[in-house]
Structure 1
Amino acid sequence: MSSAAHETDVVIIGAGPVGLFAIFECGMLRMRCHVVDALDTAGGQCAALYPEKPIYDIPGHPRIDAADLIDRLVEQAAPFSPVYHLGQQVTALVQDGERFHVETSTGTRITARAVVVAAGVGAFGPNRPPLDGIEAYEGRSVFYMVKRREDMRGKRVVIAGGGDSAVDWALALAGIAASIMVVHRRPKFRAAPEMAARLDQLARDGAIELVVPYQLHALAGAGGMLTGVDVATLDGVVRRLDADVLLPFFGLAMNLGPIAEWGLDLDRSHIAVEPSTCASSVPGIHAVGDIASYPGKLKLILSGFAEAAAAAHAIRGRIFPGEVLHFEYSTTQGVPGLAA
């Protein structure tokens, strides 16, 4: 257990893309940051769930892999010397006047004037399909994330789900896997229209097979290694799919964890904020990214970037009370150094 104690301007909870950009925005306003994340590496879902997945809606990048985006955000934040506390979860947050005392699961203690919650969907884990004995296959031939496309080369892959993740990985693995079968309970997929259209085209070309309308029914194999996946219609018709790998993509189970006990106004397991400042119901605590909720909210990384900027500017008055901000664009001021 660590007993290290630190003092800083801002504690950022969550080292995903929005949390990393919040470091930069705070740094541009001369505010120091400490960052806490339960994962042992920066990047959040981008690093943990789909590092090789291409992202298409980052301004200035027609296409960028998630891992590359994280690398660039870490590089962008580096001039401001953020202190990362990775592999530990915030377990307690206590307000003492104008300051917040944060404690983590490893005993690290941080005192700050403001807190930015950029925890994405909170502590997350996959929604597991209700299949008997699936635990024996997890991590060996059943995976809830793909870190390297090459791991799927030459394998018979069954993908289950009808959302963006299922469709995106079917497209990404086409030409790499020996075969791809996408199981969904209805013909219509809930993915972006362009991606769904590409999926349909690959199916027409014979590059993948759409197994609809079916649902997962049972697993076949031994020693943690699959040989097949049984699927069934709503009428009970069962079909065996030869498979080496099952990728079930049924979303993430969201758990706010200790955040739910901090007295913040919540909106269906999200933190309700004022959209122009991303301020929560507790002065000094702001929320940005997927965990923040307000009318018209768009759950996009670029929206989170804008929220990080808004929160940083709102926090500045708390860190430097009475000091007038002479705002300059980064093109004119450059990247300022922080005072010792």
Structure 2
Amino acid sequence: MTHSTDVAIVGAGPVGLFAVFECGMLGFRSHVIDTLDAIGGQCSALYPEKPIYDIPGYPQISGGDLVERLEAQAAAVHPVYHLGQRVEKLERLAGGHADGRRFRLTTSKGTVIEAGAVIIAAGAGAFGPNRPPLDGITAYEGRPEGSGVQYLVRRTEAYRGKSVVIAGGGDSAVDWALALHGIASQIFFVHRRDQFRAATESVAKLRALQGPNTGTTGLEIVVPYQLAGLAGDNGMLSEVTVASLDGNRRRLPADALLAFFGLKTDLGPIAQWGVALEQHHLPVDPATCQTSEPGIFAIGDVASYRGKLKLILTGFAEAATTAHAIFPQLSGGKALHFEYSTTKGAPGSQKVDAQG
């Protein structure tokens, strides 16, 4: 099936969601494509319950709550989401179409979207976890949260009363150990050395929690050890084996293994779209956020220019800039009469005639 829209947005993270709203403020319809099965990008996949402190108007808000509010805001302009699929191919339509369609995007599921402009809001690209090299690990993946091998935490309550092994030495590993203490019945924090790459204050809190791991909200720092094996029946994890460099081995009871060894990111097919690249980023004109290819824009972490700050709020501003830069391209050169939202109202209350 072929869909026709004004703007195709690649990436459904916070910046992509706000781009939906900003385009809607100017009367443009948007279709959004994302490789994940849910909207929200890294905010939903990696830290839905962790607080963010630099969103204007929110002294503190969790990644999940921020995504919910952005989704509700975007809902007013009726976006169409195509989730769990990646844009494999982008073509420029020869001569364009009278209705403004200039690009054709084809996804990994065969979805075809024709659009007048493309906004790439793909963060650092498609991302996934670095999987520890353990034999048979895939048999324990894809289990319900709170069991098996997991690479992110969506709901801390899923781990209540569970025995959890956390492996890694960075901020994610330490932060989730702190968050799950008092929820999980016991936590084994495994790292190859007794030094961590996490924030000093967080590491101090982790060490302060260490005590007898009696199975009642205990936490034990297991160093210097590395993951060595998994055991269980029918995909249900029951034990994690760890080993030290000198050959000592321990068997840790485990309902779940949380492996935090960082993410691997990949621009994937984007790198083949003819858009100029610079160190895995897309250079843009900061005045318009347009890439080297007319009609293709980039916002958020994937976009680069001199002085760029990789902050969500920077991406929000870029979304607004891009929507306004797209307007003359999709309206046949028609000038945009700028109005503040307090004047023009919410999307739908006063539709802008973008097509002239």
Q: Is the shorter-chain TM-score for this pair beyond 0.5, marking a shared fold?
A: yes
Alpha-carbon spacing, 1:197–1:125, altered in 2? closer, same or farther (3 Å): same
Alpha-carbon spacing, 1:204–1:266, altered in 2? closer, same or farther (3 Å): farther
The amino acid across from 2:254 in the alignment is A
Matched, 1:30 2:27: yes
Aligned equivalent of 2:191, options 184, 191, 202? 184
Name the CA distance, whole Å, in 2 between partners of 1:193 and 1:321: 55
Match of 2:321 in 1: 310
Matched, 1:243 2:254: yes
Name the CA distance, whole Å, in 2 between partners of 1:298 and 1:197: 29
Name the CA distance, whole Å, in 1 between partners of 2:83 and 2:32: 8
Matched, 1:148 2:155: yes
**How far apart are residue 133 of structure 1 and its match?**
1.9
Q: Map 1:115-130 onto structure 2 (within 5 A).
A: 115-130=118-133
Query: Are the aligned partners of 1:4 and 1:107 in contact in 2 as well (CA < 8 Å)?
Result: no
Aligned equivalent of 1:171, options 163, 166, 178? 178
Name the CA distance, whole Å, in 1 between partners of 2:299 and 2:22: 12
Q: Which runs of 5+ in 1 are unaligned?
A: none
Name the CA distance, whole Å, in 2 between partners of 1:205 and 1:328: 63
Alpha-carbon spacing, 1:178–1:278, altered in 2? closer, same or farther (3 Å): same
Match of 1:211 in 2: 222
Mean alpha-carbon deviation: is it higher for 241-250 or for 37-46? 37-46
Matched, 1:100 2:103: yes
**How far apart are residue 23 of structure 1 and its match?**
0.8
The amino acid across from 1:30 in the alignment is G
Match of 2:115 in 1: 112
Name the CA distance, whole Å, in 2 between partners of 1:307 and 1:72: 19
Alpha-carbon spacing, 1:280–1:194, altered in 2? closer, same or farther (3 Å): farther
**How far apart are residue 135 of structure 1 and its match?**
1.8
The amino acid across from 2:176 in the alignment is W
Matched, 1:65 2:65: no
Name the CA distance, whole Å, in 2 between partners of 1:317 and 1:129: 49
**How far apart are residue 296 of structure 1 and its match?**
4.6
Name the CA distance, whole Å, in 1 between partners of 2:62 and 2:41: 14
Alpha-carbon spacing, 1:85–1:135, altered in 2? closer, same or farther (3 Å): closer
> 3-state DSSP class of the match of 2:183?
coil
Q: TM-score w.r.t. structure 2 length?
A: 0.84
Query: Are the aligned partners of 1:167 and 1:199 in contact in 2 as well (CA < 8 Å)?
Result: yes
Matched, 1:256 2:267: yes
Query: Are the aligned partners of 2:281 and 2:302 in contact in 1 as well (CA < 8 Å)?
Result: yes
Q: Which runs of 5+ in 2 are unaligned?
A: 97-101
Match of 2:344 in 1: 333
Aligned equivalent of 1:12, options 9, 18, 24? 9
Q: TM-score w.r.t. structure 1 length?
A: 0.87
Q: Residue by residue, what CA displacement relative to the aligned partner does 1:35-55 show, whole Å, maximum 9, x if unpaired?
A: 122334322233344434443
Name the CA distance, whole Å, in 2 between partners of 1:226 and 1:335: 50
> 3-state DSSP class of the match of 1:114?
strand
Name the CA distance, whole Å, in 1 between partners of 2:338 and 2:223: 56
Matched, 1:229 2:227: no
Query: Are the aligned partners of 1:55 and 1:64 in contact in 2 as well (CA < 8 Å)?
Result: yes
